[in-house]
Structure 1
């Protein structure tokens, strides 16, 4: 009984004195493997027991307050349940139950799955492969919370949005469990840079200069740029310009090619998506085209474009289906031939690369004209002609004045010109903004006729004094014809215009005519009838009978006393003005020449053959040392025609390296002068400048050319004058063709020659005989005689200061024949005899092979013969007329009429 009471008493005391639980436990430290708790102690007599779920109990004393307990060896990111008991003696409180979690582990790596200019998609493995964790991402004061993964995935993916392009971001990724975050995983990454917005190109055929603005970014990062095209990459290093521009220069491109480019912006080993654009290089056109014109051809030339061999070229003429294709050389040319004179042609010249053709350069040109081919109608005040292929005409005289007019309906109509004046008529073609010279022609207007032609008695009834008034305009000469006598009177304002005609019959009526001349152009002839003084008839008859008596007495005396002495006393020799150093070459009198010619022609020209053969060795012993010098050998056209040293023409040697040699010799003329002519070979390409130097230094004003530049397909003489009317420089001499008149058998030209060193200018006439075959003779003598007459008239009227230069190809055959013809006709005129063989011998002493062939030697005799044929004196002529004067005047008149 007593024991039961004690037990009940103890139970009551125990219920009254129950041990209290700790109610406020805080965590003072938390790591991945440890938790540190802290609580306040209410009674120092208490002790504590901490029981961890799944772990042993931990007994804790309360020696100090607050009590701190560290629980170790825990797992990261794990939730633990604890029970804290208060112990007193053997008694224990009911226990305070609470839970806490350890710090979760941090993510060990993060990778980028995708990225763009504004987003980065991240991926990492679940920490401990636990689905209980969530994640927080922090960057630039921003936080992305509650990032979770699908329970079925072992990785976590998260896209960070609203980022700036081309920017580096620094991230911290936290693991979160029960609102407890890990220590954090730090990493960085960048967004893709933006593309260039626009590219501005500057182009040519093979180069591009590309410019664009720097791509901006919030951190002002410096970007690089890469340009890709045709599997090539070009790094364009940017630089900061005034306007933040990037420039990229690309060279060695193909012209006219479409290039596809992609321009990337690069930052931190990342490149943008790329800005795509296309650009076509230019394909330039040729613009520097030159056209060399002639009457029937257009020669088109141009230089290769940009000095680059990549280009091909196509030339097309409007109206012609075929195209001309070109490649290669520095200078490209093509000649359109067989064209019609004075026609306009349109062309297009294209450049091509890789089957791409340029837009083309279009141009026009027109073939030139031959002014001599038109039918010019010339009066004393006008020039008219129907023409084609021109739009504008000018006419200028020697002073530079004249007329200019448009060509109306293909008609040239120049009025109010100065009578007798010589005009250079030039035709032009208006081609777009340029006037092209088509041709020029020298025309002389018909001079006015003389006025007030009158005559009076003269010479006691046996002559007339003819006077006249000179007309207005240009008149070089007036030709007065009285009966059979002809007189040429040059104009002189200080002398009366009068011709005294002697040797007429008294009391006879004569037709007196007067014709004005300007150059070769004659006016209408004015005529009057004049009677000689009849008072002289009686006196004339008396004189006649007295003369008859005197003659008879003289004959009687001569027969009686003088015949014996006649054979003893030699006749005084008549001195010939044609050199004759060999007496076996006789002079043939005028009246004996037909018989002489007939005798020499017998048996197939046997006499001529023997005489020509006798001349074959003349002059061969003459030395030609200068011609054989090494520096002069190439200046000789033929090895067997070399200039003799004794008579060769010496050029001046002013400049170092000059040579004084030219294949030319001085030739004798009529009279005492031994340098009236220069016989020269036709210029070679290398001696053209020397030829003009000879013309200038020897003051020659007449050049006679008796060959064509090309004969039978072979070059006989280099063209040594300008083809057109554009000046051309030969050494220091500037030669300009002022006029060119073409006739069936010859062409007459006039050149101005200007010395560039001294500025002195001279006029040179060019007589070009075109109807004489090489090593042969012309078909007839008449044309060559007329041609020689033109030359002789010009020489005598111009008082040429220097020798007349005559040349063919070698300068011996045709050249020698023409020189001999000119000299011998002068001898025939002055001396009434001729020495052909003697003069040929003299020429051959000055230059080899002069009159090169036997046929030319016979032809020379034929010319003399044909000159004599028309001069048979009619039987009706009065016996007492001066037959010599009639002959001389007849020769001059007929030659002059032929020239006109």
Structure 2
């Protein structure tokens, strides 16, 4: 486009002639709407004026004030060619004019679009500027490089840029050109398509849902994306870039699925054409299961694969399949097989299933066995049995652990230590795993004592029994002489003195070794007391004969007259002496207690002495029968025939005897308790037999097994939670709860013959010294409360078994406390002496010491006045030297402390 402007320069006319034009006009600046001109004044005269005239005749007057004139013409149109005339004017006279042309800057393009791009070229597109066809375009890029020819105008201009580099950002400037005048330039950038990876991706690791692969790249600025045949797009987690090698990770895939992947290189918004490759994900299998085994159950647990819910699981066994849906809650799945056969090997396959594909894991397991169910043949040096469900056996004692094979289900352990206790464990070797099938505690038969012999002493009235201990383990040696039985710990001297025998008499002496519940063959030796006193005895005999003859003569001579006279028969004396003790009302008991305590407990001493002979005339013949004598722990504590507990006799070898007596309870309960001695090694089976036959549901133990280094009671329950066999009964410790002064246990007892199982509570008070009393009354009163609560909750239970060592002292005190507190609660009175008398009519020496008798009163007192008693000193003496029962004291000296 061209437009004509006339610039008129006016100046004064000189006297010499025509006014001169300017020599040259320069364009010093131009924009789309303005042109700036500059020229030198004519003759360097600033008195001239100038006129600018455009094609429409408009005149702009310009005054020259400096030698160089600058003038800007504005309000022009972009990209237009303008024609100007510049006149010099002076005194209304003008020059003939200086003509020149000038072009304004054309406008920039509005927008450039990339309509196509490849790795080495891209095609640009834009609309022509101002609908001008006379414009051309010039494209600068790559540090000023441009195409060799101008770009002609068109309605929609396209320009292909070639010979580019892949994956590169280019910066462009697009100029609009009119008559060699360029616009300010339109700046934009864009990128070429990046190249694909240089080589096929290599899969370096994969599992069910993840793939890790690596590839080479020529540009570290590239990003990457992945498409597959199952999902539209996946982001790749770039794990590392080392040199030109890139490692990527894709997750969230489906197991056992074939994927066709396309790996794209991305640079800004451009993606490569993509590199295609294939991969199939795996289907893992469960490789580990946890199995909890029992006699008839196998509890199988496994973790979900990758903690993922997409899998289903099929547990296959010989009896069928069990399917579990993986979408269940939690990360663990459990299945229990029940009603299985003990000691049986079972095979399983656990399949992982997804997308119709399976992968299986094979494993085996075996149910446990019950060691107590087998018949164990135990001798003094061997253990033999026929077992099943095991491949090896271990026998562990204090010296160590030995392993033996099980050959054809036969256990044959030889050269064992006599009398020693072994933990026998049966094992099953399954592949590389050693499975414990069961454990059982067995004690070998101890060896018999050696060199049993006797010497006499005490003027012929005593024998000293001497023996040597055999090799192996011996806990107790039981010596029997003339119905007297002595139990001696193996770590005491091998000598037992027996007193109160007759002179020059032969006695059968037996000695038996015990280890746990096992006893050796009994050794027998006949011994004679010292015959030195026999001669003196003969002389005394003749003297007695003479005296008797004289008495007979006198009786026949002088007594005939009296024989004809009638006289009353001598009075019949009852075998049982019983006194009448009155109960003490509750409100009078504190005064009664203080009265009895005066003069150093004089009242208690006198009342206790009155009870010393109660019941002692009663028969206890059963305790002396052959085979029963060695079942008594102490020779002076024997049950009366009238009140002893009878066991059931099933065959000729059984005996109905046990050192235990029925004891009365509160009210009319004549057999609410059984007072028993602590079991001996040889009577443990009888003890459990009594508990089963009398249907007892509670055992109260008020002694410790060992006190002051002496065995007070054989431990008659299992050492741990492994079942133990006692006769025909299998006893298992179900629970054990230890407190400061007592331990509470619960036993399961199973009869092997009938398979009946019962539960028995075991109340064990551990803070009661032998022959003494507890330090305070509070703990024993609380303990009694627990026992009483259990008895009242067991409506169908048999008698409660209570025992200490001998079954009289601590046993009698605990039974009396239970009954008297019931009487105090219901009748508001208490008859302590009367009930102790009642107990002694059923068993000798019940409440054995005076200190225990006073302590019983103290318990009643503390129940009535707990706050007052807490501030006072106890009135009982905690001493094991108080034995006021004179008759029992003489017998006690011949035995051991109870």
The interval holding the TM-score normalised by the smaller chain is: 0.3 to 0.5
Question: What's the TM-score once normalised by structure 1's chain length?
Answer: 0.47
Question: What's the TM-score once normalised by structure 2's chain length?
Answer: 0.47
